[in-house]
Every structure is written in C-alpha cells, then in structure tokens.
Chains A and B, each alone.
Chain A
Amino acid sequence: MYMLHRFERPLWFLGSVLVALGFIGIWQIVASSGLVSNVFLPGPDRTFRALLAGLESGVLTGKFFSTVQHMFYGWFIASLIGISLGAIIGTSRMAQVYVAPSLELLRPLPASALVPVAIAFLGLSTSMVLFIIGFGALWPMLLSTIHGFTSVEPRLNEVSRILRLTKMQYIFKIALPNAMPDILAGMRLSLTVALILAVVGEMLSGQDGLGQWILASGRMFRSPDLFAGVILLGALGYMSATLLTWFEQWVLRWRNEG
C-alpha cells in the first residue's frame, strides 16, 4: 500500500501521457485512412516532420523568436504602464471617483476592435503590432493593480497610521506587496492576451512571426507547416505561463510556506 501511494502521482501522470499518445494515434489513423482530406488534416507524422524541418532550417525558430519578442515587448510595456497607473489610481481618492468608472466603461471594448484604428494611424508596422498587444494587455494589469491597491486590509491601514508611515512608505511597504497577488494574476491574464494579439497583429501586418507563418501556410494549403506553427504557438503559451508560475511562486513565497 505504501509503495502504491508513493508512486500514485507519477503513475497517473504516465497514464495521462499514454492517453495523449492514444489521441495522437487516433489522429494518425484518421489522417492515414483518408477519411479526411490530407489537404485539411495532415497526420502527426507529416506535422512533426514539418516541425523538425522548420526548426532545423531555422525558419520556424526565427518566427518563434519574433513572436516571443512582439509578445514580450508589448506585455512589458503594458505591465509598466498598467502597474504604475493602477498604483496612482489605487491610492488616490480623486482618481477613484473621477477616473476609475471611465476605465470600467472601456474595459469591455475588445482590444482587437482597435486593430483597424491602429492600422489607420500606424500602418502595417511593428509599432502597430506592439500597440495592439500593449493595449489589450494593459487592461487586466491596470484593473487588477487597482483592485490590489484598494483592497488593503483596513487593519493594516490603521497600523500604517499608528506607525505614521509616509505616503511613499505606505505605497512600497504596504500597498504594493498587498497588491502583488492581484498584479501577478493580472500579469498572467495579460500574457495570454499578449500571445493572442501577437498572432492577430502578425497576421494582419505581415510582420515576421508565427502568426504570419500560419496564415501564409494556410493560404498556400501547406497544412503540415500550418499545424507545426499552431503546435509551436501552443508550446509558447505553455512555456510563458510556466515561467510566470515560477516567478509567481518565488515572489509570493510567503504564501506557499507554512
């Protein structure tokens, strides 16, 4: 019984990997049987060959890193603006009364609706792509930062008053650490949004990247290349989320211990 308990988690994991392999097997069978046209559905064999070829020749690697760059820069700019603006609004009564409701008004606006506007003003350029990513990624950051800053435990506000913390001390020693869990949740959401919009931006602008690659591959009926690009985008989404989880665990280590 003890041994069984100890190996339970790895065994389940192994089981779930086997199930996933089973799905890939089914995919292969469906593709090889010709039930679905090969033009639409390449088998895993052709997809992985395309993926390997693309990685070896460096074409896909290059596209991958272009997308990483777009995504990261846009996200980073959004995080900087979102956190600082959120901190200002979150600590100012005036801003909460006069500015915050307008943000609520803008929030439901889909970021992609700004694409035509961005194209009209910035053209099909990298700045357009970064603007779209930045705009979309800004909202989750901004709103969660405001929430984090305004949800300080009232008792801690009293402690700050008793200790006569200055406004700056209050922001950096109380409000910001208190907002960290919210800020990180916002960062996580905006990272997802950043990837989604990086793909959109690249598709529309034709700027180098996986988004442009999959759209071009699809138009030329090179479905293995298309699927390879989609797989890489999934991998990128997974890796960025994992990295952020590590970062989160490190920043919020006070939560995990005990």
Chain B
Amino acid sequence: MPSVDQASEAMTAKGARGHGEVIISFENLSLSFGSKLILDNINLDVARGEFLCVIGPSGCGKTTMLRLLAGLLTPSAGQILYQGLPVSGPRPDVAVLFQDYVKALLPWRTVFGNVSLALEAAQVPRKLRRDKIMAHLELVGLADHAEKYPTQLSGGMQQRLQIARCLAQDPEVLLMDEPFGALDAMTRQALQDEMQELASVSGCTIFFVTHDLEEAVYLGDRVIGLLPHPGRVGREFEVNISRPRDQLTTPEKPEFLQLRHELYSFIKLVEHG
C-alpha cells in the first residue's frame, strides 16, 4: 500500500485535473436486442482521471453500458469514442473488474499465475514478468499469498487478486461492474478505501457501476443516475466532497447526507413511477 501522504498528494492533483480533457464520450448511443430497446440515446462525457459512478434500478442497462464501453458489445446506433476514436472491441489499456470474481479468475492458476495472464496476453517477456507481478500483488496486499490458488482465498482477497490482474494491464481506464456487491460489509469498506487510493495513485479513469447509493457518493467525483425501460441518463450529481474521504467522517458530512438524500429520492421516484 502506498503511504497516506503520497495518496493524499496525488488526490489533490487529481482534484485539479478532475474535469480536464474528455477521454470517453458516448454519442447518441442506443442498443437493442431484437425489437427490445435496452439503451436509448445516451450522451455522456467522461474526463480523464475522473471517478464516475453509475447507479440505477435493475433493468436500466448500467452493466450493458459498461459492456459496450469494454467493447464486449456493439451498439445498434451511435458510438462510443475513446480518446477520439470509436470503440470497436476490447483494448489493452481498458481493464474490466467483474463482480463475480469466482468465475473471472482461473482456478487452476496460482495468485501469481492469475496476474501473470494479463502480462502474457500483452506479450511481456518472461524475465520481466516476475517483478511486475510481485509489485502488483504488493499493491493489493497479496504478496504473501502468491503461491496459493484462488479457492484458498477469501472473497475479499479474490477480488483484490482480480484488481491486481486489472492493474497488470497498466490500464488507462478501469471499468468496474458492481465489484464489491458480493462482499460482506467490512471487506467492502476496506476495498472501497483501497480502491480510492489505487485510483489516485494510478491516475486511472474509473467507470464504476453500482446499485449501492452510498458507495457511489463515497467513491465518485460524479454520479450518473439512469432511468429504466429503456435505459437512459436521468440525472447527473456532482460530488463536491473533499478527498481523501474516510469511512468514519465522510458519511457524516452534510454534503454527503444531502447527496445521499437526493439520490435516494431519485431512485424512489424512478421505482414508483
């Protein structure tokens, strides 16, 4: 783990950079499966280095948006621009963190081997891999478990391992699909804080899908609220809460409570028509 000082310095820098150059933009994006419209005319810009959270009730297409951004799906109309060019498939500098870490890890490879997969995919020579892998494992606190198999790890550790594999891609953008949804409350909070630090140190742009309103406010620079059937952008919420944030005091701040209230009303309104 990087020291808190380093992290807070980086975060100040990030705050300054927050709304700079646009790295991703959704342009009139629509997606339908057959005759069913899933996403309807999405327009959204994401700034380089931004921590963007996407919330919405189930069926609003937030995961679909992420999959389009990852290049796993192709839009029916409109396009997504990544650094000015249309997304046409998965890219080496865009990493995805899945919620179901159990399925997304290779059970037959050790912790070390799982991180190695990303480097092998990037054709990193064998000699250079070891140090890089250990550095990433160090970063997520798994260096002592390098020779274990995923099944020997707790859920939180498995998700940390997936984070390490994503970081090994040396990504510009990190797409996270409800990454902490399957974890218990304590582990979730710990990982939220680690994610905060990793985000600031790496300077990654983060697209974070969640259904947990407090998590969205706690982590995000900005929160996008989606409307369902078909999925479209409902409201944007700027999160003007100073960083670093912490689990104890941040949720007690009036700004936090205010935003939480607004998001909650938004979701209630959506769900009850």
Residue numbers of A with Cβ under 8 A of B are 153, 155-156, 158-159, 161-165, 169, 173-174, 177-178, 180, 252, 254-255, 257-258
Contacts and interface: CB of A to CB of B under 8 A. Distances in A.
B90 A254 contact: no
A177 to B, nearest CB: 4
Interface in B127-186: 148-149, 151-152, 169
Given A153-B103, A159-B98, A161-B72, 14 more contacts: A155-B98, A155-B100, A155-B103, A156-B103, A156-B106, A159-B104, A164-B91, A164-B92, A173-B106, A174-B106, A177-B109, A252-B108, A254-B151, A255-B107
A74 B36 CA distance: 55
B106 A177 contact: yes
B95 interface: yes
A100 B91 CA distance: 34
Contacts of A161: 71-72, 89-90
Contacts of A173: 106, 117, 120
Given A169-B120, A258-B152, A162 B96 contact: yes
A161 B73 CA distance: 11
A158 B107 contact: no
Interface in B53-88: 70-72
Contacts of A169: 120-121
User: How many of chain B's residues touch chain A, expressed as a range?
Assistant: 20 to 34
B117 A254 contact: no
B118 interface: yes
Contacts of A177: 106, 108-109
Nearest to B97: A162
Contacts of B121: 163-165, 169
A117 to B, nearest CB: 40
Contact of B152 (A159, A180, A257): A257
Contact of A158 (B72, B94, B108): B72
B215 to A, nearest CB: 22
A177 B150 CA distance: 15
Point out which of A156, A159, A173, A180 has the most chain B C-beta atoms below 10 A from its C-beta. A159
A111 B248 CA distance: 71
A240 to B, nearest CB: 25
Contacts of A178: 108
Contacts of B106: 156, 173-174, 177
Nearest to A154: B103
A258 B145 CA distance: 13
12 contacts: A155-B103, A156-B103, A156-B106, A158-B98, A161-B90, A162-B94, A164-B90, A173-B120, A177-B109, A254-B149, A258-B149, A258-B151
